[in-house]
Amino acid sequence: MAREKKHRANGRRSPWAAAALIGIGLLITGGAYAGASAAMAATDESASVKTALTVDDGKKLFQANCATCHGLDLQGTSNGPSLFGVGELSVHFQVSTGRMPLQMQGPQAPQKPVQFTDEQIAAIGAYVQETSPGPSFPSDEVLDGKGDVAHGAELFRINCAMCHNVAAAGGALTEGKYAPSLEHTSALNMYAAMVTGPQNMPVFNDLNITLEEKRDIISSLLWLQQNQSPGGYGLGNLGPVSEGLFIWIFGIGTLIAITVWITAKAN
């Protein structure tokens, strides 16, 4: 107690004051952010429409939301490519992951919150498919995740892992482009990406990777999503970067702390 009083008399703060201030600040910011995002989620929900939409509705949605860049008749403009032959699968991939409508021109369209309901996405897809057919939805069997997981993992390592990372955690490409993480990608979007080759991803058509092989790859990715890593906490599965950073800061930090404690004289 005597020590405490002395500190106050000196007008000094406790050494814990800075840490406490930072902690309180973080709590307030985090709380405000959580509240704000909950409020936004609530408004999003009220906007959803639960009715079956037709091709005509899809056309209207397309003209209202996509035609500025892709042209009124899918012919494309100087701001966006033509959509002839891209098909409904591509529409589903781009719109259901939030990549389209595009936020801004840049090296790569980022994923962001989805702007349309499932019905609206299907309607836009149906309109694009009717105007200029392209790749379409696969049978449910391809997406059921019951293929050969080991064979799928081998194909993934040969064809996909160099960009998407062997644990499907994603990785960097050139000049701001990147291969996204597949840790939360749906089976349909995995299939759609292989078939349509969005942005800089190469196309893997059925002659390159057969339908059965695609099923195996999807199965192995779903297996990775559904099973915990046997090696414990993955640190983002980014390999030596995150693991090295962790061991340099926390591993060596702990060793230094223990060394200081061993050599310090007892009170």
The CB density around residue 237, as the number of other CB atoms within 10 Å, is 18
Site for another protein in 64-103 (CB under 8 A): none
Site for another protein in 212-251 (CB under 8 A): 227-232
Contact 182, 190 (CB under 8 A): yes
Site for another protein in 125-154 (CB under 8 A): 154
Contact 185, 98 (CB under 8 A): no
The CB density around residue 177, as the number of other CB atoms within 10 Å, is 13
Of 21, 26, 36, 203, the one binding another protein (CB under 8 A) is 203
Nearer to another protein, 15 or 230 (CB): 230
3-state SS assignment for residue 178: strand
CB of 33 to another protein, least distance (A): 33
Nearer to another protein, 23 or 81 (CB): 81
Binding window for another protein (CB under 8 A); candidates: 4-12, 51-59, 139-147, 157-165: 157-165
**204 binds another protein, rule: CB under 8 A:** yes
Q: For residue 198, what are the CA distances in angstroms to 91, 99, 100?
A: 10, 10, 11
**How many Å apart are CA 139 and CA 149, to the nearest integer?**
19
Query: Two tokens at 104?
Result: 């801004």
CB of 258 to another protein, least distance (A): 9
Residues that bind another protein (CB under 8 A): 154-155, 158-159, 162-163, 171, 173-174, 177, 179, 197, 199-205, 207-208, 227-232, 261-262, 265-267
